[in-house]
Amino acid sequence: MQRSPLRTALACSTALLLASLTACQTSEPADTEKPTVPRDVTAQASSATTVHVMWEHATDNEAVTGYEVYREGEKAVSVPATKRMIDVEGLTASTAYTFTVRARDAAGNLSARSAAVSVTTPEPAPADEKPPTAPVKVRGTAGKDGRTATLTWGASTDDVGVTSYDVYQEDSRIHSVAATATKAELTGLRPGTVYTFTVRARDASDRSSPDSEPLDLTTPSAPGAPASTAPTGLRTKTAAEGGEYVVDLSWDQPDTGGTIPAYQLYLDGELTTTIVWGGTPPAGRATYRLTLTDPPGTRYSLKLRPKLPDGTWGDFSAQRTVVLPG
- For residue 9, the model assigns a pLDDT of 47
pLDDT at 285 over 60: yes
What mean pLDDT do residues 191-215 have?
A: 91
What is the band of 47 on the pLDDT scale with cuts at 50, 70, 90? confident
- For residue 66, the model assigns a pLDDT of 94
What does the mean pLDDT of the chain come to? 87
- For residue 10, the model assigns a pLDDT of 46
CATH assignment of 232-323? Answer: 2.60.40.10
- Numbered ranges of CATH 2.60.40.10 in the chain: 39-120, 136-218, 232-323
What is the band of 23 on the pLDDT scale with cuts at 50, 70, 90? very low
The three-state (H, E, C) secondary structure of 87-138, written as one string:
EECCCCCCCEEEEEEEEEECCCCECCCCCCEEEECCCCCCCCCCCCCCCEEE
Residues with Cβ within 8 Å of residue 75, at least 6 apart in sequence: 68, 69
Domain 39-120 class, CATH top level: mainly beta
Beta-carbon count within 10 A of 297 CB: 9
End-to-end CA distance of the chain: 92
Query: Cα(110)–Cα(129) distance, rounded to whole angstroms?
Result: 44
Helix H or strand E segment including 18: helix 5-26
Architecture of domain 136-218 in this structure = Sandwich (2.60)
**Tens digit of pLDDT for each residue in 253-280?**
998 888 899 999 999 989 999 999 877 7
At 291, give phi and psi (nearest 5°): -105, 130
What mean pLDDT do residues 128-133 have?
A: 88
**Tens digit of pLDDT for each residue in 63-104?**
999 999 999 999 999 999 988 889 999 999 999 999 999 999
What mean pLDDT do residues 134-146 have?
A: 94
How many helices (H) does the chain have, and how many strands (E)?
A: 1, 21
- Rg over CA atoms, the chain: 27
> Closest Cα to residue 248, out of 285, 214, 196, 283?
285
Query: Cα(162)–Cα(3) distance, rounded to whole angstroms?
Result: 88
The pTM assigned to this predicted structure is 0.69
- For residue 6, the model assigns a pLDDT of 46
> Closest Cα to residue 192, out of 162, 152, 164, 224?
224
- For residue 13, the model assigns a pLDDT of 52
Query: Cα(163)–Cα(181) distance, rounded to whole angstroms?
Result: 10
